């Protein structure tokens, strides 16, 4: 059963070492993410799963201790998803590095010791029905499940945004923000896949996994952050 969820964006710039001189520009966002992770800890989950977009086909599972890195951004920083294996313990069976979104999740969860942590990478093109089914399976996997759901909104809010200006971006992001703040699973499930792709909104599939996991669960939502620095929609929310 899903007992809590935190929704956070996943730009590598969230990691101060990657942002370097611009790190202070996202301090408010980082603080909101820290608060959201704190809500997960307070829910006392038996299992925590970080869900994020990944450059793959379908779904990809990552075990606790799976490693990721920010070295491709010029920063000698490595992370693991949850606690790394103890000395002498077998390493994770997968040799595949964490996708960027789950590496950011690993950074957000640094120091987490409250429950086992796993990762689920979700392909950008995964259909809504499969996202919902994956979410239901996660919710049914333990009596107290929590999700850390990573994903960005549109990248088209301004002319200087990565996706340039698209007039559809602001209404799309407003719909997402309202749905996350209200824990509206129906609204998230109904997000248009083609529009999300056109707006480069990488969070669409992970949010629809969340919608599947939370459907019928009676969770209440709170929106902690809604802004578009650099022309990209970023949201932080908690569902409890």
How is 211-235 classified by DSSP, letter by letter? HHHHTTS---EEEEEEE-GGG--EE
Per-residue confidence (pLDDT) for residue 21, from 0 to 100: 86
Report which secondary-structure segment, H or E, holds 48.
Answer: strand 47-54
- Tokens matching residue 237: 């929310």
Per-residue confidence (pLDDT) for residue 212, from 0 to 100: 98
Q: How far apart (Å, rounded) are the C-alpha atoms in residues 96 and 111? A: 22
Q: How far apart (Å, rounded) are the C-alpha atoms in residues 191 and 185? A: 10
- Tokens matching residue 107: 């950074």
Per-residue confidence (pLDDT) for residue 94, from 0 to 100: 45
**Could you report the per-residue pLDDT of 79-101, keeping only the tens digit for each?**
999 876 564 455 544 456 999 99
Q: At what angle do helices 100-108 and 27-42 cross, to 10 degrees?
A: 70
Q: How far apart (Å, rounded) are the C-alpha atoms in residues 190 and 211? A: 10
**Could you report the per-residue pLDDT of 163-180, keeping only the tens digit for each?**
999 999 999 999 999 999
Half-sphere exposure of 129 (CA within 13 A, CB side): 0
Q: Which residues contact 173 (CB under 8 A, 6 or more apart)?
A: 153, 154, 157, 201, 226, 228, 233, 235
Per-residue confidence (pLDDT) for residue 78, from 0 to 100: 95
Name the nearest CA neighbour of 19 among 104, 111, 144. 104
Q: How far apart (Å, rounded) are the C-alpha atoms in residues 89 and 176? A: 42
Q: How far apart (Å, rounded) are the C-alpha atoms in residues 237 and 220? A: 10
Per-residue confidence (pLDDT) for residue 86, from 0 to 100: 61
**Could you report the per-residue pLDDT of 181-209, keeping only the tens digit for each?**
999 999 999 999 999 999 999 999 999 99
Per-residue confidence (pLDDT) for residue 95, from 0 to 100: 52
Residues in the chain with pLDDT values less than 70: 84-96
Which domains are delineated in the chain? 2-239 (3.40.830.10)
Burial of 53 (0-12, 13-18, 19+ CB in 10 A): buried
Per-residue confidence (pLDDT) for residue 185, from 0 to 100: 98
The residue assigned the tokens 């996991």 is: 213
Ordered alpha helix ranges (H), 140-203: 169-182, 185-189, 193-198
What distance lies between CA 236 and its chain's CA centroid?
9
State the CB neighbour count (10 A cutoff) for residue 186.
9
Going by their DSSP bridges, the two strands 221-227 and 145-150 should be labelled as unpaired
């Amino acid at each position: 059963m899903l007992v809590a969820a935190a929704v956070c964006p996943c730009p590598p710039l969230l990691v101060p070492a990657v942002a370097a001189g611009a790190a202070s520009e996202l301090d408010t966002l980082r603080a909101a993410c820290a608060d959201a992770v704190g809500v997960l800890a307070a829910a006392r989950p038996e299992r925590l799963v970080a869900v994020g977009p990944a450059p793959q086909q379908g779904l990809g599972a990552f075990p606790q201790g799976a490693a990721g890195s920010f070295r491709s951004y010029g920063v000698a920083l490595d992370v693991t998803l949850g606690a790394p294996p103890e000395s002498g313990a077998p390493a994770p069976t997968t040799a595949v590095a964490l996708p960027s979104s789950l590496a950011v999740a690993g950074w957000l969860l640094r120091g987490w010791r409250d429950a086992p942590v796993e990762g689920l990478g979700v392909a950008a093109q995964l259909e809504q029905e499969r996202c919902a089914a994956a979410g239901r399976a996660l919710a049914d996997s333990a009596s107290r499940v929590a999700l850390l759901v990573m994903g960005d909104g549109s990248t088209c809010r301004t002319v200087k945004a990565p996706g340039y200006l698209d007039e559809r971006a602001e209404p799309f992001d407003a719909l997402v923000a309202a749905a996350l703040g209200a824990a509206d699973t129906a609204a998230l499930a109904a997000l248009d896949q083609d529009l999300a792709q056109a707006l480069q909104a990488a969070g669409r599939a992970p949010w629809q996994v969340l919608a599947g996991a939370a459907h019928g669960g009676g969770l209440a939502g709170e929106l902690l952050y809604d802004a578009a620095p650099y022309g990209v929609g970023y949201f932080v929310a908690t569902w409890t």
